[in-house]
């Protein structure tokens, strides 16, 4: 009984302390001459906590912006949030004023967990700039061309898996993208029976730990850094019990594939990779550390989003079969049926290019984008934006703007075509899908090439159709989503079959025995 009373007193004391800190933060961030952006009224002690959506936040944030305006202010227990409800507001602040809005809010948790090597969660500053520069040097369009054989080999292997095991198209796709990133970053050829397969497993476990760490404890620690000094039994400090596991996973992904890559390079067995590019200039301890971080960041930033985007493509083909037929007709006309398409065919495949753009727009896999942190006070449209405010773009809302994308719920690749040619203009979904300003995704060029090669190759060889009843007749298909990041469709039944016996032969011929070693 005494112990319960003691715990209750500790909890009450904690609530009072947090409430005081929240009120202090609100007072310190009071408007200075200008009003804060409009938003729901703040309640005593809890501020706007009850206004924050608990699931599918992009929908809740969009509803708030529809009610209060293009920019909306919320107070999340002392942390100011600014919702950017339109693409124009996001471009104005995160793009054109990127010097003021390039910081991140996860730096405390990154240091605690060992994920500080992932530059996407680093605060803006010299360390971030060096890591970003190293990553960009290995992911610019000229360097990305060196990785094309890796991507093409991975896609061919996936086509064979799709032929032999179509029901597991989803798990096989995840393996394809995981293995591709490991190969691009480290020059390690990954397939199911290779020694390098363990690095895919390391990467998958590490990213699970990453999402747990930054989802369970990151927000609280950032708002109240004192939590990192408190015992793990203290309220909101329970995350500390998981720190050893998370830190071990972060170290393994950063160090073990790198060590294998260095061994292969020294033995003259390594393929061209990010590691091989960066090693040439890594002549100091700091540069080696930056190179290791850049390679590990490639996996953390790329595999999950490519996998999620591919799943959205499959769903679109089920729901909008006419677009599939039009894409296949273009492939037959340009590429023919006796070889697989490559990225070099892209300029002659405008409809396929438009189809991929529409996949990006139709269901953005990071619907709320990535938050930015205001590094100084600012004024926008007559409103005060406090220093330390977290700005949240809403990519999903921008993709639904009917003035830019008429019939936004429909899947229409022709949005980006004029007179049979690709014409994007101001409709380019890449302007919100890949981020803004100095935080724009540096892996964009590789991701676009890899996804185009996958989409074109799958459509060249396979038909994708939806679920059927016991008599083999189509049944109504309703697309539902998982509330995860990146956003994924719930698993759904679909039928993936070769377009013809010639298509099946093409897959088997294109995937030589050397290419598919260990896949059986």
Residue 352 lies in a domain: yes
Mean pLDDT over 228-242 rounds to 82
pLDDT at residue 214, as a whole number: 79
Q: CB of 374 within 8 A of CB of 388?
A: yes
pTM: predicted TM-score of the whole model, two decimal places: 0.89
Q: CB of 481 within 8 A of CB of 487?
A: yes
pLDDT in tens, 127-143: 889 889 988 989 999 89
Domain count, the chain: 1
Q: Per-residue pLDDT for 227 more than 90?
A: no
Residue 368 lies in a domain: yes
Using a CB cutoff of 8 Å and minimum separation of 24, what contacts does 52-57 make? Answer: 52/76, 55/483, 56/367, 56/481, 56/483, 57/367, 57/368
Residue 226's pLDDT band (cuts 50, 70, 90): confident
168: containing domain: 28-518
Residue 60's pLDDT band (cuts 50, 70, 90): very high
Residue 89's pLDDT band (cuts 50, 70, 90): very high
> Closest Cα to residue 150, out of 111, 179, 113?
179
Residue 519's pLDDT band (cuts 50, 70, 90): very low
pLDDT at residue 320, as a whole number: 96
Q: Per-residue pLDDT for 16 more than 70?
A: no
pLDDT at residue 8, as a whole number: 40
Q: Per-residue pLDDT for 24 more than 60?
A: no
pLDDT at residue 514, as a whole number: 39
Residue 287 lies in a domain: yes
Phi, psi (rounded to 5 degrees) for 436 = -135, 150
Residue 16 lies in a domain: no
Judge residue 46's burial from the number of C-beta atoms within 10 Å of its C-beta, 0-12 exposed, 13-18 middle, 19 or more buried. Answer: middle
**Edge to edge, what strands does the sheet with 372-373 contain?**
71-76, 79-84, 390-393, 372-373
Mean pLDDT over 195-205 rounds to 86
Residue 12 lies in a domain: no
pLDDT at residue 3, as a whole number: 39
Residue 7, C-beta contacts closer than 8 angstroms, at least 6 positions apart: none
Residue 4's pLDDT band (cuts 50, 70, 90): very low
Mean pLDDT of the chain: 87
Task: Please confirm whether the linkage preceding 486 is cis (ω < 30° from 0).
Answer: yes
pLDDT at residue 218, as a whole number: 53
Least confident of 14-18, 191-195, 220-224: 14-18
Q: Per-residue pLDDT for 413 more than 90?
A: yes
Residue 164: give its domain's CATH number.
Answer: 1.10.630.10
Least confident of 212-216, 302-306, 417-421: 212-216
Q: CB of 89 within 8 A of CB of 398?
A: no
Residue 11 lies in a domain: no
pLDDT at residue 311, as a whole number: 97
Percent of the chain at pLDDT above 90? 61
Three-class HEC string of 208-221:
HHHHHHHHHCHHHH
User: Do the strands 79-84 and 390-393 form a parallel or antiparallel pair, or are they unpaired?
Assistant: parallel
Token pair 């025995």: residue: 513
> Closest Cα to residue 270, out of 299, 295, 305, 307?
295
Percent of the chain at pLDDT above 70? 90
Mean pLDDT over 4-19 rounds to 45
pLDDT at residue 161, as a whole number: 93
pLDDT at residue 513, as a whole number: 47
Residue 13 lies in a domain: no
Q: Which residue has the higher pLDDT, 326 or 1?
A: 326
pLDDT at residue 21, as a whole number: 53
Under DSSP, is residue 422 helix (H, G, I), strand (E, B) or coil? strand
Averaging pLDDT over each range in 253-257, 301-305, 450-454, which range is the top one?
450-454
Q: Which residue has the higher pLDDT, 3 or 475?
A: 475
pLDDT in tens, 333-392: 999 999 999 999 999 999 999 999 999 999 999 999 889 999 999 999 999 999 999 999
pLDDT at residue 17, as a whole number: 52
pLDDT in tens, 63-79: 999 999 999 999 987 88
Q: CB of 342 within 8 A of CB of 147?
A: no
Mean pLDDT over 20-41 rounds to 68
pLDDT at residue 160, as a whole number: 94
pLDDT in tens, 141-196: 989 999 999 999 999 999 999 999 999 999 999 999 999 999 999 999 887 667 77
Residue 14 lies in a domain: no
Residue 485's pLDDT band (cuts 50, 70, 90): confident
Token pair 């469709």: residue: 489
Residue 295 known to bind ligand: no
């Amino acid at each position: 009984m005494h112990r319960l009373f003691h715990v209750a007193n500790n909890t009450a004391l904690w609530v009072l302390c947090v409430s005081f800190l929240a009120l202090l933060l609100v007072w310190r961030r009071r408007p200075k001459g200008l009003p804060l952006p409009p938003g729901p009224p703040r309640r005593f002690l809890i501020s706007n906590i009850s206004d924050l959506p608990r699931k599918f936040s992009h929908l809740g944030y969009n509803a708030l912006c529809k009610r209060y305006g293009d920019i909306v202010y919320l107070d999340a227990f002392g942390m100011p949030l600014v919702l950017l409800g339109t693409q124009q507001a996001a471009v104005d602040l995160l793009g054109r004023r990127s010097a003021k809005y390039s910081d991140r809010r996860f730096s405390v948790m990154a240091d605690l967990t060992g994920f500080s090597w992932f530059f996407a969660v680093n605060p803006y500053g010299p360390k971030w700039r060096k890591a970003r520069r190293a990553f960009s040097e290995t992911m610019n369009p000229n360097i990305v061309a060196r990785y094309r054989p890796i991507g093409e080999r991975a896609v061919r292997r996936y086509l064979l898996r799709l032929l032999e095991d179509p029901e597991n198209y989803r798990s096989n796709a995840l393996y394809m993208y995981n293995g591709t990133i490991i190969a691009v970053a480290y020059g390690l050829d990954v397939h199911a029976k290779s020694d390098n397969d363990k690095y895919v497993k390391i990467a998958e476990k590490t990213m699970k730990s990453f999402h747990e760490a930054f989802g369970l404890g990151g927000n609280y620690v950032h708002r109240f850094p004192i939590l990192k000094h408190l015992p793990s039994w203290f309220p909101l400090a329970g995350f500390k019990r998981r720190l050893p596991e998370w830190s071990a996973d972060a170290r393994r992904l950063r160090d073990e594939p790198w060590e294998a890559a260095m061994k292969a390079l020294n033995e003259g067995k390594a393929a061209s990779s990010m590691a091989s590019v960066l090693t040439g200039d890594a002549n100091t301890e700091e540069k080696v550390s930056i190179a290791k971080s850049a390679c590990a960041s490639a996996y953390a930033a790329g595999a999950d989003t490519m996998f999620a985007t591919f799943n959205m493509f499959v769903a679109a083909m089920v729901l909008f079969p006419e677009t599939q037929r039009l894409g296949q007709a273009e492939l037959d006309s340009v590429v023919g049926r006796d070889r697989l398409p490559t990225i070099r065919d892209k300029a002659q495949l405008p409809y396929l290019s438009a189809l991929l753009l529409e996949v990006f727009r139709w269901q953005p896999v990071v619907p709320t984008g990535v938050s930015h942190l205001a590094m100084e006070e600012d004024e926008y449209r007559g409103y005060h934006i406090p220093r330390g405010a977290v700005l949240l773009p809403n990519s999903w809302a921008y993709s639904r703007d009917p003035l830019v994308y008429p019939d936004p719920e429909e899947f229409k690749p022709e949005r980006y075509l004029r007179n049979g040619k690709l014409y994007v203009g101001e409709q380019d979904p890449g302007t919100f899908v890949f981020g803004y300003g100095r935080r724009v995704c540096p892996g964009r060029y590789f991701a676009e090439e890899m996804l185009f090669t996958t989409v074109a190759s799958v459509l060249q060889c396979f038909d994708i159709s939806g679920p059927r009843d016991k008599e083999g007749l189509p049944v109504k298909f309703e697309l539902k989503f998982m509330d995860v990041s990146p956003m994924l469709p719930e698993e759904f039944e679909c039928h993936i079959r070769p377009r013809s016996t010639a298509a099946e032969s093409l897959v088997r011929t294109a995937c030589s025995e050397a290419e598919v070693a260990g896949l059986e």
